[in-house]
Chain A
Amino acid sequence: MRKMLAVALGVLTAIGGFVDIGDLVTNAVVGSRFGMSLVWVVVVGVVGICLFASMAGRVAAVSGRATFEIIRERLGPRAAGANLVASFAINLLTLTAEIGGITLALHLASSVEPRLWIPVAALAVWLVLWRVKFQVLENVAGLMGLLLVGFAVALFLLGPDWGELLRQAVPPSAPGNEHPAAYWYYAVALFGAAMTPYEVFFFSSGAVEERWTSKDLATNRLNVMVGFPLGGLLSVAIAACAAVVLLPAGIEVSSLSQIVLPVAQAGGVLLLAVVIVGIVAATFGAALETALSSGYTMAQYLGWSWGKFRRPARAARFHVTMIVAVLLAVGILMTSVDPIAVTEMSVVFSAVALPLTYVPILVVANDPEYMGEHVNGRVMNALGGVYLLIVVVAAVAAVPLMIATGAGS
């Protein structure tokens, strides 16, 4: 019974933890402009993150080592250092977007200016990082994020023409009034949003924090294989809500307030409140994960002591790194940059950075020195090879597409 509960909890947190500000914004923008025609990207992305996260979890559980330690051991200090700089920068961008997302959601709830919320949100993030136990932090954020299920409820209440939605989704094609380059630009952005690299750092380091061993592999696989696809369904529901309400009205999403309008139309104030709390929780949870990831990557590359399971004083450099990352994010937001713009930037650069984390994980998961009998099987490697190709193509295409389309406009 206890075990069942633990498994259910793991699955639920994986669902709630899947959606962050990147998924939220990108799916809504895509839904309002391209209808359901990019749903296939979410599917590809979800399969990818399942593959990727289960590999990272397995590596961490079997070898007891987190991703970046291994990246440095394998690639040497130079290549791993370049990787660290890029990963850290994108992680910081994502952290900025998440904290910005918290402030936008709080603005919706209170109509107090987002800039006043920035220090409050950042302080709350730091306090949780400082004091709260890892398991509690992970579970509470994940469970609260489940409130985003309100988008799925809203979709059903809207009572859309399901046949029409399906026709938009298969076979996928760009709506006539949109340029194909913009379509592909958003395909890459959506892929980056679904597969954000920080999830891998967080997942593998989290496995070490929770002292996973090979015995936990089955639980790990279940969490990922059930939780993430259900989280992906939430993403699709967000896109569908936008496609049903905003697309026919000719509304192009450029702010968080537009994203929640379909929910208000479907479920009124109550459902709206549920979803806003869900957004605060999801972005808050993701802010914790990205802040931790910035500490994890830096500490693992340089061999510092790290982890929430240590007293802060026994992992001083790790905690200082996180504090610095949060302060940098606050600094960026204080320039009154639009958090939505930061978010769109962060998902595209996530796509650019994907090979940096993906390739080493794939290599190590095949290395018997670390993995013993738990090396990748043939199916895993076949899938891994296919995704290697997709990830590299997306990464190479991202920046040219961004320049060609003027960031999708």
Chain B
Amino acid sequence: MTDRGTRGEVRLVDARLHLLSRQVLDSDGEPVRTVDDLELAGPDGGEARAGQEAHVSAILVGPALALRLFGGRAPTSRLPHIAWEDVGHLGTAIELTVPSDGLDADWVEHWLRDRLVGRIPGGRRDPEAGS
């Protein structure tokens, strides 16, 4: 797989080594998830087939991890995923160009924030701003 770096040259990236299990950060540098699995797509955007060119179309998170560990299959469209177009930079972590607030894949965090943690008094207080 190739990634066009900032200076335009092509850098080789090993999916297993440099993508899987790497931290995903949003545009503010906040952790979102770890890459649990990747979705591949064929050249026409459809199903990837053996023997044909394929590219990474999305980062899969959440239940994708359980599928990887315990086996089984689920329609990839149902798995929470982060579109590859949102990826900005590949370093030791994968940096996105969008804030996590807009990501459907991060719904658990948003749900807990809005329904539980944010409602407990002090839940939105900045701990560093004095005690």
Q: Which residues on A are within 8 Å of B, measured CB to CB?
A: 65, 69, 72-73, 76-78, 80-81, 130-134, 136, 299, 301-306, 308-314, 316-317, 319-320
Contacts and interface: CB of A to CB of B under 8 A. Distances in A.
A316 B112 contact: yes
B116 interface: yes
Interface string B20-51: 11111000001111111000000000000000
Contact of B34 (A72, A308, A314, A319): A72
Nearest to A306: B31
A303 B120 contact: no
Interface in B34-74: 34-36, 61, 65, 68-69
A302 B32 CA distance: 9
A313 B124 contact: yes
Interface in B88-131: 92, 108-109, 112-113, 116-118, 120, 122-128, 131
Contacts of A131: 122, 125, 127, 131
Contact of B31 (A304, A308, A316): A304
A134 B23 contact: no
A132 B112 contact: no
Nearest to B35: A303
A302 B118 contact: no
B113 A313 contact: yes
Secondary structure call for the B interface = loop
Contacts of A316: 109, 112-113, 116-118
Contact of A136 (B22, B65, B108, B131): B131
Nearest to B16: A76
Most buried by B among A73, A78, A316: A316
A139 B122 CA distance: 22
A302 B127 contact: no
Contacts of A313: 113, 117-118, 123-124
Q: Which of B20, B21, B65 has the most CB of A within 10 A?
A: B21
Contact of A301 (B34, B118, B122): B34
Nearest to A304: B31
Nearest to A78: B69
B112 A317 contact: yes
A205 to B, nearest CB: 13
A7 B36 CA distance: 41
Main SS of the interface on chain A?
Answer: helix
Interface of B: 20-24, 30-36, 61, 65, 68-69, 92, 108-109, 112-113, 116-118, 120, 122-128, 131
Given A73-B21, A76-B21, A309 B116 contact: no
Contacts of B35: 303
A311 B125 contact: yes
A316 B32 CA distance: 12
Nearest to A314: B30
A323 to B, nearest CB: 9
B23 A312 contact: no
Contact of B65 (A77, A132, A133): A77
Nearest to A71: B21
Contact of B128 (A133, A301, A320): A133
A311 B23 contact: no
Given A77-B68, A313-B117, A320-B116, A132 B34 contact: no
B127 A308 contact: yes
Contacts of B34: 69, 72, 301-303
A69 B24 CA distance: 12
Contacts of B113: 313-314, 316
Contacts of B117: 312-313, 316, 319-320
Contacts of B126: 311
11 contacts: A302-B65, A303-B32, A303-B33, A303-B61, A304-B33, A304-B109, A305-B30, A311-B125, A311-B126, A313-B117, A316-B118
A106 B109 CA distance: 37
A311 B30 contact: no
A133 B22 contact: no
Most buried by A among B68, B109, B118, B122: B109
A121 to B, nearest CB: 19
A134 B127 contact: yes
Task: List the 9 closest A-B pairs by CB distance, nearest first.
Answer: A303-B34, A316-B112, A316-B117, A316-B113, A305-B31, A313-B118, A303-B33, A312-B123, A133-B131
A76 B19 CA distance: 11
A84 to B, nearest CB: 11
Nearest to B125: A311
Contacts of B108: 317
B127 A311 contact: yes
A77 B21 contact: yes
A4 B79 CA distance: 53
A308 B124 CA distance: 12
A309 B128 contact: yes
A312 B69 contact: no
A312 B120 contact: yes
